């Protein structure tokens, strides 16, 4: 009987600049440069770099976004993809302008988390994991948001909505429809800004106004 053959393929190399359609803005490049000074090597900046990419690519990490991070950090595509797919906070498929992330962990479950989820499904006419046809809302279920004392809780971009009731949800959805705040992109930007010092943020603003 023939021995099974195991073929070891060459590891993919970091994409070359000429193969890429680089999309990081001037701001994003400055932010990444500042972030790289925080770490002993480029690889360690991968999580904030992915937040920058999620913002720059409009809310989810396309294969181009992953390739751009790989190129800018000098890593392989597979390595960056491995990190991006490990963490649920990075979106790998298109999502709505707002993500409604309902906690259904123990405290929230006991305080009506699933009722909130059902209410939202009915109200928006979508099921878990789906996006409304107008592209505004994506509904997901998440683990504990660390606000158990105020259950049931839902994260919407950069805010936590606590002690939820159907009335509060109605008001929130109405507010979101009129607003540009708490979007998926705003959350990615907030995460990037959290990683930068006040001084770095000022230097970036100054460099952008001078350019
Ligand atoms: S269980 Fe929902 S915030 Fe902790």
Task: Name the residue with higher pLDDT: 166 or 18.
Answer: 166
- Spell out which residues line ligand 1, taking CB within 6 angstroms: 103, 105-108, 144-148, 151, 153
Atom from ligand 1 closest to the CA of residue 107 = 1
Helices and strands per DSSP (H, E), number in the chain: 9, 4
Distance CA 104, CA 141 (A): 7
Tell me what pLDDT residue 21 has: 84
Q: How far is the CA of 188 from the centre of ligand 1 (A)?
A: 22
Q: How far is the CA of 90 from the centre of ligand 1 (A)?
A: 20
pLDDT tens figures, 180-211: 999 999 999 999 999 999 999 999 999 999 98
In this structure, how many other beta carbons lie within 10 angstroms of the beta carbon of residue 202? Answer: 11
- Tell me if 45 sits within 8 A of 36, measured CB to CB: yes
Q: Which of 16-20, 26-30, 144-148, 166-170 has the lowest mean pLDDT?
A: 16-20
Dihedral, 67, 69, 75, 79 alpha carbons, nearest 10 = -70
Provide the pLDDT confidence category of residue 20 given band limits of 50, 70 and 90: confident
Atom from ligand 1 closest to the CA of residue 152 = 2
Domain annotation for the chain: domains and CATH numbers: 17-92+186-210 (no CATH), 98-182 (3.40.30.10)
pLDDT higher than threshold 60 for residue 83: yes
Ligand 1 pocket: which of 102, 107, 112 to mutate (most atoms <8 Å of CB)?
107
Predicted structure pTM score: 0.88
Tell me what pLDDT residue 8 has: 60
Tell me what pLDDT residue 17 has: 63
Question: Which residue intervals of the chain are DSSP H helices?
Answer: 26-36, 46-56, 63-73, 77-86, 106-110, 113-124, 166-177, 184-195, 198-210
């Amino acid at each position: 009987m023939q021995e099974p053959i195991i073929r070891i393929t060459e590891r993919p190399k970091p994409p070359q600049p000429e193969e890429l359609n680089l999309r990081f803005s001037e701001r994003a490049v400055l932010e990444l440069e500042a972030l790289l000074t925080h770490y002993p090597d480029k690889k360690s900046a991968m999580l904030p770099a992915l937040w920058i990419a999620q913002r720059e690519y409009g809310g989810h990490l396309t294969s181009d976004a992953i390739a751009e991070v790989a190129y800018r950090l000098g890593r392989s595509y597979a390595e960056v993809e491995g990190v991006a797919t490990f963490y649920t906070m990075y979106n790998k498929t298109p999502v709505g302008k707002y993500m409604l992330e309902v906690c259904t962990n123990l405290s929230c479950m006991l305080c009506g988390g699933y009722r909130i989820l059902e209410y939202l499904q009915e109200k928006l006419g979508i099921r878990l994991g789906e996006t409304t046809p107008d592209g505004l809302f994506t509904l997901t279920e998440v683990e504990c948001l660390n606000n158990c004392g105020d259950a049931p809780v839902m994260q919407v971009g950069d805010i936590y909505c606590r002690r939820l009731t159907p009335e509060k949800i109605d008001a929130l959805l109405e507010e979101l429809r009129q607003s540009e705040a708490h979007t998926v992109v705003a959350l990615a930007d907030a995460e990037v800004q959290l990683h930068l010092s006040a001084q770095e943020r000022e230097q970036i603003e100054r460099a952008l106004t001078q350019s």
